[in-house]
Structure 1
Amino acid sequence: MSSTRTPAAPAPDRSSSGGAGGASQPSAAAAGIDERIQTKGLLGTFLARPEIGALVGAIVVALFFAIAAPSITQAQSISTVLYGASTIGIMAVGVSLLMIGGEFDLSTGVAVITSALAGSMFSWFFAVNVWVGVFMALGVSLLIGLINGVLLVRTKLPSFIVTLATFLMLTGLNLALTRLISGSVSSPSISTMDGFDSAKAIFASSVNILGVDIKITVFYWIALVLIATFILLKTKVGNWIFAVGGDENASRAVGVPVAKTKIGLFMGVGLCGWLLGMHNLFAFDAVQSGEGVGNEFLYIIAAVIGGCLLTGGFGSAIGGALGALIFGIASRGIVYAEWNPDWFKFFLGLMLLLATIVNMYVRKRIERK
């Protein structure tokens, strides 16, 4: 959005005015510089980026575990770290955009499993090609996002309440329908069905680069981050997302389609959930109906560590990716260092607290300039 700035009026000539010896003190006004169009400089611009705290945190955590567990620096170990980060990062992209838009989604963890179960159970029960189940699962995931968004804008309830209700309902549906259809708490194996191998190649294969196998989810993760960053920074939709998260009423007053933006963000989360759900299905063949509970907090933590404010209107997809990377480094680093894995949650909580404090400190410094 471009704007027209009117040059500041020239400052009055104070060389002959009263004062000590008629000398004037140098100032921005005396120089004819309008403080509204002064730039922050390279350092100020850099510090103003929402992901700066996560970037510093990722560097510190990587260096820490490189010293504590040198094996983490090996090529295959790095691939493992990236895979762990991607399984969080894929969802963190959608959650980051949603949080920038000022909303939360507490149903994401179980929604991923719902998508996987929908694809598996539909293919198995109707004995159709696995790809039919894949597209059925896509419809289910988008429908969940649509329902969350419509309920939010129609009822005016907080997204915390709306998505908490969705979380509880999906948790019950996952277990009840799986028991009803398969007679157990897990989906039946579909590995011998038509289309399974081709779907696995798309959603759960590995790509060999210089002798190192890298899971395909890493590439999907990177692609989603790039797409989301482009949307936020280069499109009017990105402007709408920031505007809605910053001030919903003011956005509506200037013509921003608030309802459509929020619904679209929830459906974007659903799309990410479908992608991760399909990976889980074809990587492990069967899906446990009780999985996914608690993962929604990991996605939110990654977004917050990445610089997304809980109040909305500020953040980036790159920051969410860095938050997920910190998660991947920490989760695998503790294993490579041969520490008790019980310390992982403590470490994650500490990183969340420190990252939030750094983000607040940086924002306050920028706002004072």
Structure 2
Amino acid sequence: MTNTLTAAKPAADDRVATKSTLAKLLGRPEIGALVGAVALFAFFAVVAPVFLQPSSFATVLYGASTIGIMAVGVSLLMIGGEFDLSTGVAVISSALAASLFSWYFTTNVWVGVIVALLVSLSIGFINGWILIKTKLPSFIVTLATFLMLTGLNLGLTRLIGGSVSTPSIARMDGFDSARAVFASSVGIFGVDVKITVFFWIGLVAVASWILLRTKVGNWIFAVGGDANAARAVGVPVVRTKIGLFMGVGLCGWLLGMHNLFAFDTVQSGEGVGNEFLYIIAAVIGGCLLTGGYGSAVGGAIGAFIFGMANKGIVYAEWNPDWFKFFLGLMLLLATIVNVAVKKRAESK
């Protein structure tokens, strides 16, 4: 009996088992989107050689950045288990707030910029607060916000400016400096790259750091996976969810300021439908609709895919009427691939 016990080996502990490199790679939320992005880039490089020209690629990056800026905030929100259907019109609300406040009160436009920031953060806070207090699905809460903002955008613009678009603020104090910050271009090897591209990259870097290197990132994944379990272990669920909605508001403010100072007027009816583009970018990038899974890098890749598809179709001289079909197909395939990759990674 003694010899038998001595010779017995302890059973392997699954808790300390190491994953293979392939399993770790497949476990990354953005891997499916990355493969798709590489394939799409190669495809358009072949069918539309102009796609590879530096100026054309800078245009692709600009188009991707205008989706990607919002996709960063939306990705984090979806990882936290929530949606925001008001993002498209909230971007326009921010631009309208800055423009109309500056014009009506004849102030320096930077005052309007600060007012717009407060408005955007307030919209995010209100969405999160109502969600927590009512326990309604974020789909319902933000759909209501979407409808109210759509009406407010149009109604207040008509009331204050007498038109569906804002008056031009191009000659007001501070406009030139604000345009330099929010809507300028940076020359790189003779190619003008819009400043939104750098905002986009910076936001992705900050969001990735938050998700992967801070306790706030752990909170975001926890509340998205199971809010009740997260609350039971001390995660501040209320603060985390409200903070995520306010983060979306911050991204909306940044994009709204770009829109305002790039064109100096704002159409109050714009933005409707853009919320789906931001969600599509996040989903293509690996964020699951069920929450608790995804990455900011994946959302960026999803936005890049959108930019390539949008401009690539033009460069290839195809009928742009097919773009929405192509976008829907990408969304469906990306969702299927993301779920399959996650299940495969978990099984290893």
TM range (shorter): over 0.9
Q: What is residue 194 of structure 1 aligned with on the other side?
A: 173
Question: Partner amino acid for 2:19?
Answer: K
Give TM-score scaled by structure 2 length: 0.97
Of 129, 134, 137, the match for 2:108: 129
> What are the within-5 Å matches in structure 2 for residues 150-161 of structure 1?
150-161=129-140
Whole-angstrom CA distance in 1 between matches of 2:114 and 2:15: 51
Match of 1:236 among 215, 240, 244: 215
The reply to whether residue 82 of structure 1 matches residue 98 of structure 2 is no
Match of residue 315 from structure 2: 336
- Counterpart residue type for residue 73 of structure 1: L
**Structure 1 residue identity aligned to 2:102:** S
Q: Deviations over 1:72-91 (max 9, x none)?
A: 01101110000000000000
State whether structure 2 residue 232 is matched by structure 1 residue 248: no
* CA-CA distance at 1:43 after TM superposition: 1.2
**Which of residues 320, 340, 346 is equivalent to 2:325?**
346
The structure having more radius of gyration, on CA atoms, is: 1
Task: Tell me which of 211, 217, 222 is aligned to 2:190.
Answer: 211
**2:346 & 2:303 partners in 1: Cα distance?**
27
Query: Percent same amino acid among aligned pairs?
Result: 77
> Does the residue aligned with 2:18 lie in a helix, a strand or coil?
coil
Task: Report if aligned partners of 2:284, 2:335 keep a CA contact under 8 Å in 1.
Answer: yes
The Cα of 1:12 is off from its aligned counterpart by: 5.2
Q: CA deviation at 1:13?
A: 5.3
Q: Give deviations 1:35-73, integer Å, cap 9, x for gaps.
A: 221111211111100001110111111111111111001
C-alpha change, 1:59 and 1:130, in structure 2 (3 Å) is: same
Contact 2:27-2:346 within 8 A present in 1 as well = no
Q: Which amino acid aligns with 2:44?
A: F
Any idea what SS the aligned residue of 1:207 has?
Answer: strand
Secondary structure of 1:208's counterpart equals: strand
Letter in 2 for 1:263: I
Change (3 A) 1:72 1:33: same
Secondary structure at 1:342 match in 2? helix
CA RMSD of aligned residues (A): 1.1
Q: Which amino acid aligns with 1:226?
A: A
Matched, 1:177 2:162: no
Assess, with a 3 A threshold, how the Cα gap between structure 1 residues 33 and 195 changes in structure 2: closer, same or farther. same
* 2:292 partner SS: coil
Stretches of 4+ aligned residues off by more than 4 angstroms: 11-15
How far did residue 31 of structure 1 move? 7.1
Per-residue CA deviation, residues 152-172 of structure 1 (Å, 9 max, x unaligned), is 000000000000000000000
Paired residues in the alignment total 345
Deviation digits for residues 109-155 of structure 1, max 9, x if unmatched?
A: 00000000000000000000000000000000000000000000000
Q: Which amino acid aligns with 1:171?
A: T
TM-score (normalised: structure 1) = 0.92
Which sections of structure 1, spanning at least 5 residues, go unmatched?
1-10, 16-29
Output the CA distance in 2 between the equivalents of 1:40 and 1:318.
22
**CA displacement at 1:32 relative to structure 2:** 5.2
